[in-house]
Amino acid sequence: MKKMLEVRWHGRGGQGVWTASELLARAAISEGKYIQSFPEFGPERMGAPIRAFTRIGNEPIQMHCAVYNPDVVVVIDPSLLKAVPVTEGLNDEGILIVNSKEPPAEIREMLKVERRKIWTVPATEIAIKILNSPITNTAMLGAVARITGIVSLESVEKAVSELFSGSIVEKNIGVIKEAYKEVKSE
Amino acid sequence: MAVAKQKMLALNGDEAVAYAVKQSDVDVVAAYPITPQTIIVERFSEYVADGEVDTEFVCVESEHSALTACLTAAATGARAFTATASAGLALMHEILYVTSGCRAPVVMAIVNRALSAPLNIHCDHSDSMVERDCSWIQIYVENSQEAYDSIIQAFKIAENQELLLPVMVGLDGFTLSHTLENVQTLPDDLVKKFVGTRKFPLVTSHEGKNVPFKLDPKKPMTIGPIDLYDYYFEHKRQQEEAMQIAPKIIQQVHKEYAKISGRRYGNGLIEPYHLEDAEMAIVCVGSTSGTVKTVVNELRSKGTKVGLLRLRTFRPLPVKEITKALENVKAVAVMDRSLSFGGHGGAVFHEIRHVLYDASKHPYVVNYIYGLGGRDTSPNLIQKIYRDLQRILETQQIEKPVQFIGLRE
């Protein structure tokens, strides 16, 4: 892997955007990697577009500023595709992962985006099926693990079982596994 | 002693501080639990509720009372801690002086945040820079790991019998306080042993007896009584003498801690980064120093002789160390995350330029006010500062001694 991977998460207040960022970071730390996970703080309103960030590296991370050029952008809520500039600053070789049941080509067409790699995963459908609720953060986390390979599926499961408790642990692990399988590339 | 086996945790800066306090065998934590309070005391109150510590946790009605409770607890010989931020620190202003004047070794974490108005909850250093004259030791950290390490060190520094001065440890609001990072933590028993138990110098009581310097009904004494033009001046002079020996003690504690943890932050006072042969240097305080380091690495890889001086201890000001680190540099940019309105620059700039006046050589010294109210400072902005220094060296001229960076003009 390159020196450091930077991930930007897009979602809405209440969708567990920061939690997804934190789970990814915790999975990485359990593999002995160095991490940062932080949200973009503002007035926190349910439903408002928010962002969170994860940095993962093999060495201690010195940088303490915002993420300007992410390697990976994750869109937890597809309604944001038209609401916020999700590809802003995304490297040409960067990866865009979108919660959508459509194939990646449709997203490319809709965003009129060139280069970059686009992946989709039907996170809402998976979440509704298993969690009975459209909470898609863990599904997207499973997709990130699969597509980037930055953390193993086992580490993600471990992070979920450490941070969550009760019956939602198993359900979310089920969501992650299914999303891991269901990702679609171009 | 060999470096201890440590446990890597994912903690944000607030949690790292709370964890260090939990391990430091603290007797009293008093805090105002509402905004602008931080997760530090929230997490610590959970340790208390879960029976993980036997600390007396006192919820008070204001920060003014929080520090008063800590000061009085410390005066009876207890180990006391509190945390605050922004307006909370401002409300403590009066008691900051009382605490240091009573030589009460309280430790306080400051989550550095902007002062109102306009209302802002994000990071800058205005809250604690304005308290630089109150006879508290001030340490500013770069990351959550250092926040953890510095809190543990702070108790040992403050309680040193020669020193007996309170210590504030500043960590950047949100950038550190709410960012999850890797934190290596020491075993509980090792921290407890390192911090040790409080010891008290013997002083002469009003009955003419030698008694330990603490409030004890069996050995009565008065701490903080009226003290007019007969002795007040001498007592203030004693505080300044304590400040003068503080650098030695801070370095000593830092060194002892490095032995068990394997972690060093320069010499505990300043952290020079690629300064040996640097022609241009930035002086910075807090988490932005890390971003500066990444820019230094990048510019160094292209052959530019740049460096950074991170000021870890701001009070007492490490005059000799700053002079030695910077006198051979040709141009210095001081970054200030606070502004002394009408004062020609920020607090750090004032100090650095002032120190270099007595140096054998005089580098150009300019000031950049950055990041007020949480405005982000990108690597590009740091690069611009180094470019500006390059131009100063080329033209041998300073156009603007004080300027803002990362601001809409």
Tell me the CATH number at B106: 3.40.50.970
Q: Give me the residue label for tokens 């770069």.
A: B142
CA pair distance B310, B286, nearest whole angstrom: 8
B72 in any annotated domain: yes
Domain count for chain B, please give it: 2
Given B261, B283, B313, the domain boundary residue is B261
Averaged pLDDT score across all residues of chain A:
95
Search chain A and give the residue with CA nearest B379.
A65
pLDDT surpasses 90 at A46: no
Same domain membership, residue B159 and residue B94: yes
Same domain membership, residue B286 and residue B253: no
CA pair distance B116, B248, nearest whole angstrom: 37
Query: Is the minimum CB–CB distance between A25 and chain B shorter than 8 Å?
Result: yes
Q: What is the pLDDT of residues B147-196, one digit of tens each?
A: 999 999 999 999 999 999 999 999 999 999 999 999 999 999 999 999 99
Search chain A and give the residue with CA nearest B10.
A26
Res B205: pLDDT: 85
Same domain membership, residue B240 and residue B277: no
Mutate to test the interface with B, among A19, A61, A64, A158 (most CBs of B within 10 A): A64
B209 in any annotated domain: no
Residues of A within 8 A of B8 (CB-CB) are 29, 32
Distance from CA of B284 to the nearest CA of A (A): 13
Query: Bigger pLDDT: A74 or B209?
Result: A74
Q: Are the beta carbons of B290 and A64 separated by less than 8 Å?
A: yes
B206 in any annotated domain: no
Residue B206 to residues B75, B216, B220, B222, B223, Cα–Cα distance (Å):
17, 13, 8, 8, 11
Same domain membership, residue B362 and residue B292: yes
CA pair distance A60, B340, nearest whole angstrom: 34
B215 in any annotated domain: no
Amino acid at site A112: K
Query: Is the minimum CB–CB distance between A36 and chain B shorter than 8 Å?
Result: yes
B220 in any annotated domain: no
Facing B181 at nearest CB: one of A32, A35, A41? A35
B205 in any annotated domain: no
Task: For A135-168, give the secondary structure using H, E and C.
Answer: CCHHHHHHHHHHHHCCCCHHHHHHHHHHHCCCCH
**Beta carbons of B132 and B311 less than 8 angstroms apart:** no
**Beta carbons of A34 and A58 less than 8 angstroms apart:** yes
Given phi > 0 = left and psi -120 to 50 = alpha, else beta, which region is B259? Answer: alpha
Same domain membership, residue B280 and residue B254: no
Helical packing angle, B86-101 and B232-261, nearest 10°: 110
Same domain membership, residue B304 and residue B182: no
Same domain membership, residue B282 and residue B255: no
Same domain membership, residue B26 and residue B141: yes
Mutate to test the interface with A, among B140, B145, B182 (most CBs of A within 10 A): B182
Strand pairing of A49-57 and A4-12? Answer: antiparallel
pLDDT surpasses 70 at A2: no
Strand pairing of B270-273 and B306-311? Answer: antiparallel
CA pair distance B282, B377, nearest whole angstrom: 14
Domain count for chain A, please give it: 1
Residues of B within 8 A of A60 (CB-CB) are 182
Q: What is the pLDDT of residues B329-373, one digit of tens each?
A: 999 999 999 999 999 999 999 999 999 999 999 999 999 999 999
CA pair distance A71, A57, nearest whole angstrom: 13
How many residue pairs from chains A and B have C-beta atoms closer than 8 A?
Answer: 62
pTM of this prediction exceeds 0.90: yes
Residues of B within 8 A of A29 (CB-CB) are 8, 10, 182
Same domain membership, residue B275 and residue B256: no
Res B168: pLDDT: 98
Q: Which residues of chain B have pLDDT under 70?
A: 1
Distance from CA of A103 to the nearest CA of B (A): 34
Tell me the CATH number at A104: 3.40.920.10
Same domain membership, residue B376 and residue B235: no
Query: Is the minimum CB–CB distance between A29 and chain B shorter than 8 Å?
Result: yes
Q: Where are the alpha helices (DSSP H) in B262-346?
A: 288-301, 319-326
B351 in any annotated domain: yes
Distance from CA of A101 to the nearest CA of B (A): 32
Same domain membership, residue B336 and residue B195: no
**Beta carbons of B281 and B385 less than 8 angstroms apart:** no
pLDDT surpasses 90 at A44: no
Domain that holds residue B325: 270-405
Of A77, A81, A134, A135, nearest to A108 by C-alpha is A81
Burial class from Cβ neighbours inside 10 Å (0-12, 13-18, 19+) for residue B385 reads buried
Q: Are the beta carbons of A64 and B172 separated by less than 8 Å?
A: yes
| pLDDT confidence band for A127 (50 / 70 / 90) | very high
Distance from CA of B146 to the nearest CA of A (A): 12
Res A1: pLDDT: 47
Task: For B221-280, give the secondary structure using H, E and C.
Answer: CCCCCCCCCCCHHHHHHHHHHHHHHHHHHHHHHHHHHHHHHCCCCCCCCEEEECCCCCCE
Averaged pLDDT for residues A66-95: 96
Residue B37 to residues B40, B70, B98, B118, B152, Cα–Cα distance (Å):
8, 16, 22, 19, 21
**Beta carbons of B283 and B309 less than 8 angstroms apart:** yes
Of B139, B74, B133, nearest to B110 by C-alpha is B139
CB burial readout B46-85, b (16+ within 10 A) else e: ebbeeeebebebbebeebbbbbbbbbbbbbebbbbbbbbb
Same domain membership, residue B157 and residue B36: yes
Query: Is the minimum CB–CB distance between A3 and chain B shorter than 8 Å?
Result: no
Of B4, B19, B302, nearest to B145 by C-alpha is B19
Given B213, B238, B261, the domain boundary residue is B261
Domain that holds residue A79: 4-185
